[in-house]
Structures are given as C-alpha cells and as structure tokens.
Amino acid sequence: MKTVVIPLDSAAPDKEALAEAARVLRRGGLVAFPTETVYGLGAHALDAAAAARIFAAKGRPANNPLIVHLADAAGVQQVVANWPEPAERLVKRFWPGPLTLVLPRRDTVPDVVTAKGPTVAVRVPAHPVAQALLRTADVPIAAPSANRSTELSPTRAEHVLRSLDGRIEMLLDGGPTSGGIESTVLDLTTTPPRLLRPGPISIAELEAEIGTVARVCSSTVAARNGLHPLPSPGMMPRHYAPRTPLECIETGKEPECLASLLRAKRRIGWVTFAGPGERIVPSEVHLRVLPSDPAGYAAQLYAVLHELDVAGLDHILVTLPPDTEDWLAVRDRLRRAAHS
Ligand code: TXA
Ligand code: MG
C-alpha cells in the first residue's frame, strides 16, 4: 500500500485535505494525524474491522486497548455508559487537552477497541488538525500512538513514516507536536481514581480538582510481580524504546560511564539537561542537551531519541532528571526506553 502524505498548515488546515482524510476514515482506512502530545494512528472507533487494522499495522497485542478520541465532551456520550461527577470537573478544566479518562463503556464500542474490557479510554485532543479531523469525520476515532508496538512514539511526520510507511493509507503532516509525550491516563472507575500513566497533566493538577489520586503507575513493579491483567497494558516495562540500546544513569556518574564506553570503542550518544557548570565532553560523543524544565524537556525528548537512533550509534546514555513528582512522566518514559 502507498501511504499518501498530506502537509497541512496547522493554523488553517486545508478543508479538501481534511475531507479526503475523513472519507478514508469513514470507509475503514487508517489515517495518522498530529495531536498536541504525539502523532496518533486513527481508525473509525465504532467500526470493528477498521479498529482491528490498527492492531495489525502496529503489531500491537490484542490485549492493549485503544484511546477513543472525540471532538468535544458532548461526543463522549456515544461511547461512555456513565459520567461520574469528578469527570465533569476534570473535563471542564483540562479538555481539550492531554488527559485521557477511563470510564465504563457502552455496548456501541467494539470489543477490539476495549480489548474486551468493561471500560473505554476517552480523550478530546487540543491540536487544531486533530480537532478539525474529528469534526469533519464526525465519528469517534480510535488512535494509539502512530508507531510500531514497543517503539518510540512519533512527534513528527518523519517518525511516523519511519515506523508505518506502506502500512497505512494516509498521514497528515502538521509539523512537530508541542507536548512531546503521551497523555496522562486516569482511571475513574475506581475509588479513589487511579493514575495509570503519568503525563503532561500532573498528579498535583488532578488532585487540585478531584482530591486523592492513587499512584499505581509503578509499572515495572506491577509487571515484575506478574500482576495480571495489568491495570493498563501500556504499563508493560519495555515500551517507547529506541532500537539502539539506551541506558539511564544518575547525575555525576557520566564521566566514568563515558570513559569506559569510549575505551570499548563504542559510538555514544549522551542526552542530558541544561545545568550549571561546564561539561567537558570528548568530541566523538553525540551530546544533546535538553531544557531543564519538565515540559520543555518532554517536548523534545522523543525527537532527540529518534535522531540519535538513526545516527548509527552503539549506545545511548541518558542522565536521569531529579526523582521528584514534576519529572514523574519523563522518568517513566526514560525507564521504559532503557533496554536494561
Ligand atoms: O497522547 C496520547 O494519549 C496518544 C495520542 C495519539 O492521543 N495516544 C496514545 O495511545 O498514547 P497509546 O495506545 O499509545 O496508549 C494508550 C494507553 C495505553 O497504555 C493503554 O493500555 C491505555 O492507554 N488504555 C487504553 N484504554 C484503556 C482502558 N480501557 N483501560 C485502561 N487503560 C487503557
Ligand atoms: Mg503508544
């Protein structure tokens, strides 16, 4: 299959192009599109055969459910059975935006979308292209990140092509995404609600709206202890990983680590964040310095990892940001990206 790539001006997306993408979706095809977090791989969410094609294109295990995207909160009624009071408050504050809510599903949602579970994940994205596509298609769109399963999420159209060229009908290229990491996922079917995936909306922001949120996203612990089924299958420990081996190290350990890799003649990439003091780095090391604030860092992280991943390196070292709650989402993605 040939993947048609359509460049779109995010500020004023071309109506004809959107109409064509909407036609492809309504006929059961796959269209990748930008959201404010990462690129999504979209299919008609109420068409079981279309949604099943997402799993085939990604090589995604059937037990990992999909997020259903809607143009606005009113549209959620099509897929959700009931709407608890905390959902109302969260939606008023954070939608459209990078917050996914897990709620009781309606029977209209095909089993393939929910992995046969009793719940469905829903989100109203803020990106103007995602918004325009949802409104033009006028159907709920199931969309995981537009990458092959376990690989790095895409924040640019070229990342999508690297992973899915020839496997999908269409790609809407709206330029780099701004958020850079996947949405926060919150399960509202439990008391208290549970954070399934940390993301751009922090626990503190959620708790300011709805009170206590349980932190069960200690993914590696759950998976190692063989908890089954996983509360959120995306909590698999190895996920979002580049092909090049990636190792996370604590601040201060870098000189020692770099020296031993260089002695072994390894080609190295090193990702760290801006901080005080000078860095003395051997010229053969591919150094990338990210912003020292969590949002700025997250916005660039995947693009930098994609770039280093195609640079023909043997090893990517990443200095871990501080172990504080504001860095929770970034540290979660880094741990999953690490091969060891
Ligand atoms: O930012 C995002 O959320 C992006 C953009 C495209 O919207 N999408 C995304 O989708 O990251 P995906 O499929 O890569 O991750 C969805 C996560 C997975 O961890 C999945 O297991 C979880 O949400 N999930 C989906 N439905 C669920 C459900 N009913 N119950 C629990 N977890 C669910
Ligand atoms: Mg994903």
| Residue 217: pLDDT band with limits 50, 70, 90 | low
- Kindly report the backbone phi and psi dihedral angles of residue 212, in degrees, each rounded to the nearest multiple of 5, phi listed first: -55, 135
Nearest-angstrom CA–CA distance, 45 and 176: 25
Instruction: Kindly calculate the radius of gyration of the chain based on its CA atoms and give it in whole angstroms.
Output: 20
More confidently predicted of 283 and 120? 120
Q: Do the bridges between strand 214-215 and strand 194-197 make them parallel or antiparallel, or are there none, so unpaired? A: parallel
Catalogue all structural domains in the chain, each as residue range(s) with its CATH number: 4-225 (3.90.870.10), 246-338 (3.40.50.11030)
Per-residue confidence (pLDDT) for residue 233, from 0 to 100:
54
CB 235 within 8 Å of CB 282: no
Percentage of the residues of the chain whose pLDDT score is greater than 70: 92
So what's the pLDDT on residue 73? Answer: 97
The pLDDT value recorded for residue 275 is: 81
Average pLDDT score over residue span 42-63: 97
CB 140 within 8 A of CB 79: yes
Does 136 have pLDDT greater than 90? yes
Q: How far away, in angstroms, is 280 Cα from ligand 2 center?
A: 36
Bridge-based pairing of strands 268-273 and 286-290 is parallel
The mean per-residue pLDDT over the stretch 308-318 comes to 96
Instruction: Return the ligand 1 atom nearest residue 199 CA.
Output: 1
- CB of 177 closer than 6 A to ligand 1? no
Quick one: pLDDT at residue 248? 96
Distance 335 CA to ligand 2 centre (A): 15
Q: Determine the atom of ligand 1 nearest the C-alpha atom of 143.
A: 6
Mean pLDDT, to the nearest integer, of 206-211?
A: 98
Which has the higher per-residue pLDDT, 218 or 130?
A: 130
What's the pLDDT score for residue 225?
42
Over residues 67-72, mean pLDDT: 98
Q: Which comes out higher in pLDDT, residue 101 or 228?
A: 101
103 touches ligand 1 (CB under 6 Å): no
Ligand 2 centroid from CA 96, angstroms: 20
Confidence of residue 226 (pLDDT cuts 50, 70, 90): very low
Q: What is the pLDDT of residue 240?
A: 76
Mean pLDDT of the chain: 92
Q: Tell me the CA end-to-end span of the chain in Å, nearest whole number.
A: 36
Please tell me the predicted confidence (pLDDT) of residue 195.
97
Q: What is the mean pLDDT of residues 201-216?
A: 95
